[in-house]
């Protein structure tokens, strides 16, 4: 998945339906001079509902929908007939979508399962007809309830990609090249920084028809947590990954220092990210001989598994898949 139409943030006005009014009515029939109250209740206003759809990968289909309106409920009628419910407005979203209220930033819900439905903006209740208010002491109530008004609010939807493995590294570290080699994904690859401007997903085939999903996250730079470069716009996608694969090129000036910078950016954005399992891959290792690898091993942090790889020559790719699979399971 790589597309200039990848949209991971939308804001829209959500308005649920008004409830229908209750009916004030008395039964009238031949030979029945004074029938009792038979005003029906009003129908409920339509909800605005979010539904998870595993076939969607982006919020593009909502980009130009600035107003989402559910239908109003119908008024009640005589003979105790309840008004029709307003039609619900169902919004299908990809898995990993978080809904927030724009004015308070309060999280309303998170959609993580296919078919999961959550009422985003509930519709107004229908009013009670006068038949509801009839009692032994008030057998002819002269009032009925109006319907409850619907709710209007601004909603923000944010997509956080769901993947087993998230690639973390500086721009031009070889993340897109690695994803293109281990999966069928076709991300844009070029020899300059910030080639990747949208996240890419790829399914990596493993032994015996097993597989896992890998996400190529746009490059992080020092100060990203404060908004530098692409800022925190794409750091959020790392939150939903089970495992973080740090990619640092072999021609880096100091592997341990670059790793420390990346860890610090994640810590500033969300300290909980450091609780995830981590693996370090030294990319572009085809330029190294065994002597240079031995020297670099002294720079590599000892607290996490590490693999020397080359996406060009496929060096270490099988070993990397094995390490990833063991960490995931």
pLDDT of residue 120: 96
Selection from 147-151, 179-183, 188-192 with the highest mean pLDDT? 147-151
* pTM higher than the cut 0.85: no
Helix (H) or strand (E) holding 157: strand 152-159
pLDDT of residue 73: 97
Three-state secondary-structure class, residue 325: helix
**Mean pLDDT (the chain, rounded):** 84
For residue 148, what are the contacts with CB-CB under 8 A and spacing of at least 6?
18, 19, 45, 124, 125, 126, 127
Q: What angle do CA 303, 304, 309 make, to 5 degrees?
A: 140
Residue 189 pLDDT > 70, yes or no? no
Three-state secondary-structure class, residue 176: helix
- CA 257 remoteness from chain centre: 32
Three-state secondary-structure class, residue 175: helix
Lowest mean pLDDT among 15-24, 167-176, 277-286, 317-326: 167-176
Sheet containing 306-308: which strands, arranged edge to edge?
Answer: 200-205, 211-216, 163-168, 241-249, 277-283, 306-308
Looking only at the bridges linking them, the beta strands covering 277-283 and 306-308 are parallel
Q: How far apart are CA 72 and CA 87, in angstroms?
A: 7
Please answer whether residues 24 and 143 qualify as being in contact, where contact means their C-beta atoms are separated by less than 8 angstroms: yes
Reduced 3-state DSSP string for 211-276: EEEEEECCCCCCCHHHCCCCHHHCHHHHHHEEEEEEEEECCCCCHHHHHHHHHHHHHHHCHHHHHC
- First and final C-alpha spacing in the chain: 25
Better-scored residue on pLDDT, 201 or 262: 262
**Mean pLDDT (whole number) for 237-262:** 85
pLDDT of residue 221: 57
Instruction: Single out the residue of 200, 172, 165, 197 nearest to residue 186, CA to CA.
Output: 200
What does the block give as tokens for 145? Answer: 């309830």
**Mean pLDDT (whole number) for 26-45:** 88
pLDDT digits (tens, 9 = 90+) for 137-177: 888 899 999 999 999 999 999 887 777 888 888 877 777 78
pLDDT of residue 184: 65
- Looking at the chain, the whole-number percentage of residues with pLDDT higher than 70 is 88
What does the block give as tokens for 194? Answer: 């910030």
Selection from 60-64, 127-131, 262-266, 282-286 with the highest mean pLDDT? 127-131
pLDDT of residue 312: 84
Q: What DSSP string runs through 267-308?
A: HHH-GGGGGSEEEEEEE-GGG--HHHHHHHHTTS-TTS-EEE
Helix (H) or strand (E) holding 181: helix 175-182
pLDDT of residue 117: 96
Q: How far apart are CA 87 and CA 94, in angstroms?
A: 23
pLDDT category, 188, cuts 50, 70, 90? very low
Lowest mean pLDDT among 113-117, 150-154, 173-177, 192-196: 192-196
Ordered structural domains, the chain, with CATH = 1-159 (2.70.210.12), 163-328 (3.40.50.300)
Better-scored residue on pLDDT, 208 or 224: 208
pLDDT category, 192, cuts 50, 70, 90? very low
Q: How far apart are CA 238 and CA 164, in angstroms?
A: 10
């Amino acid at each position: 998945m790589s597309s200039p139409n990848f949209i991971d943030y939308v804001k829209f006005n959500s308005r649920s339906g008004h409830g229908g009014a209750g009916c004030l009515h008395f039964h009238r029939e031949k030979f029945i001079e004074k029938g009792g109250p038979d005003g029906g209740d009003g129908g409920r206003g339509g909800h605005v509902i979010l539904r998870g759809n595993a076939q969607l990968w982006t919020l593009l289909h909502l980009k130009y929908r600035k107003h989402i309106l559910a239908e109003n409920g119908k008024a009640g009628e005589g003979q105790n007939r309840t008004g029709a419910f307003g039609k619900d407005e169902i919004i299908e979203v990809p898995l990993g979508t978080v809904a927030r209220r724009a004015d308070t930033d309060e999280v309303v819900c998170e959609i993580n399962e296919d078919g999961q439905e959550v009422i985003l903006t509930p519709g107004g209740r229908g009013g009670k007809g006068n038949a509801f208010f009839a009692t032994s002491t008030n057998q002819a109530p002269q009032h009925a309830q109006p319907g409850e008004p619907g709710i209007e609010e601004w909603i923000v939807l944010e997509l956080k990609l769901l993947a087993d493995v998230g690639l973390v590294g500086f721009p031009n570290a070889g993340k897109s090249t690695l994803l293109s080699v281990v999966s069928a994904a076709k991300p844009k690859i070029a020899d300059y920084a910030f080639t990747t401007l949208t996240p890419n997903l790829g399914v990596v085939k493993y032994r015996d028809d097993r597989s896992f999903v890998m996400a190529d996250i746009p490059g992080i730079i020092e100060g990203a947590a404060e908004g530098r470069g692409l800022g925190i716009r794409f750091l959020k996608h790392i939150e939903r990954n089970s495992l973080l694969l740090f990619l640092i090129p072999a021609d880096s000036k100091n592997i341990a220092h670059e790793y420390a910078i990346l860890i610090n950016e994640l810590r500033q954005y969300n300290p909980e990210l450091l609780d995830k399992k981590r693996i370090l891959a030294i990319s572009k290792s085809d330029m190294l001989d065994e002597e240079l690898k031995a020297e670099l091993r002294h720079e590599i942090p000892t607290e996490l598994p590490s693999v020397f790889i080359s996406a060009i020559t496929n060096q270490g790719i099988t070993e990397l898949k094995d390490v990833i699979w063991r960490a995931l399971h």
